[in-house]
Structure 1
């Protein structure tokens, strides 16, 4: 994960987070399969994402989404 992030943001650091909802990993865990969530997105420092989170105006910048697509593609192609 780190190498995929670093390719597009040399100063990027993966950090753990907790999801407030459920994911498919709960079902995988019941089967003994370890799963990890990985949601790479690059947000500008001035964006108050938590104020938008699950709100009527929830969004991320298109550039942040494009960054995530590139990182995920790199991760999947080279892991």
Structure 2
């Protein structure tokens, strides 16, 4: 059995964004496979969240974390949804 040799990544060149796009298009044309982007869908300007820093009472954080665990989401999502309900 031949000895496995590690690829010399230190000497590999970087692939340009154009080459990545060309490869994705070639895969789609040859195999009909669409490369889907990972992560969250892109939001429009009115839906983008704004990063803020806020001090909350520890009871509020504990409540949000317990609700988040029940629902299987993040605690910041729970706080955001509660505030959105109050604003409408």
> What TM-score, normalized to structure 1?
0.23
The structure richer in helix per residue is 2
Decide which structure has the larger Cα Rg and report it.
2
TM-score (norm 2): 0.22
